[in-house]
Amino acid sequence: MITTLMQTDVVWADPEANRRKLDTMLSALPETDLVVLPEMFSTGFMPDPAGRAETDGGTLEWMLSKSKEYGFAMAGSISTEEQGRFYNRFYFVEPDGKVTIYDKRHLFSISGEDRIYTPGNRRVTVEYRGARILLQVCYDLRFPETCRNSLREDGTPDYDLAIFVASWPSRRVSSWNTLLKARAIENQSFVIGVNRVGSDPECDYPGESVLLDPMGRTVVSCGTGCEVSVTGEMDLRLLSAFRDSFPALKDIL
């Protein structure tokens, strides 16, 4: 499966401006199956979303339109208000119009996200073009127990790819890089981590988005500080062969 990491700067609290910029970037992409965007890619990370979170579904409709137009899935999280509650909501949108939702489970209490947003209460995976995909958002990366891979009743792993979309600050980037590799290795899965670049009123963001293979090796990366899209292949045959040769998941207690 071909995947594209879209490492973007984000115009603060301006969904229309961010969608216009992404329109230009999407039009220049090579053939791909999946495009992954950062956390809260339409507004920037908002611990205080009142009056700024999306209420009209505009960015979701945009994702649906672009996914259908180009024939690839789109993934990323949006600050969303629904029936008086705020959610850091990960949308996985497919070309046929299917939408899978994951609400961020681990809210970042250091910034006060937990006081404003409603946490998700379920683990979410989606099957797409031969791969099972786990959806995760930023701070979830620090909690291995809730993204632990395991074997299903039919003996196959629960997922093949974990996606982490993020607004991860520069001062903790070494943790970002280390934890992404750990999640890939311990779960014998591909991992995509897409982090924004630029700055907002609180933080600077380095990017360093990456696609890792199940041994924790870099397939493609976006580098530091640049707004860029990078495309690489997630080889499911390699994944299957590696799991067959080193079946560690069967020893989970």
Q: Which residues are catalytic?
A: 39, 104, 138
Distance CA 223, CA 85 (A): 36
Residue 8 near residue 196, CB atoms below 8 Å: yes
DSSP string covering 95-118: TTS-EEEEE-SS--GGGTHHHHBP
Other CB atoms within 10 Å distance of the CB of residue 33: 19
**Residue 163: which H helix or E strand, with range?**
strand 161-166
Of 30, 138, 118, 168, residue with least CA distance to 76: 138
* Rg of the Cα atoms in the chain: 17
Tell me how long the chain is.
253
Burial class of residue 27 in the structure, from the number of CB atoms within 10 Å of its CB (0-12 exposed, 13-18 middle, 19+ buried): exposed
Distance CA 11, CA 25 (A): 15
Of 110, 136, 140, residue with least CA distance to 125: 136
Of 44, 71, 76, 49, residue with least CA distance to 60: 76
The 8-class DSSP code of residue 208 comes to -
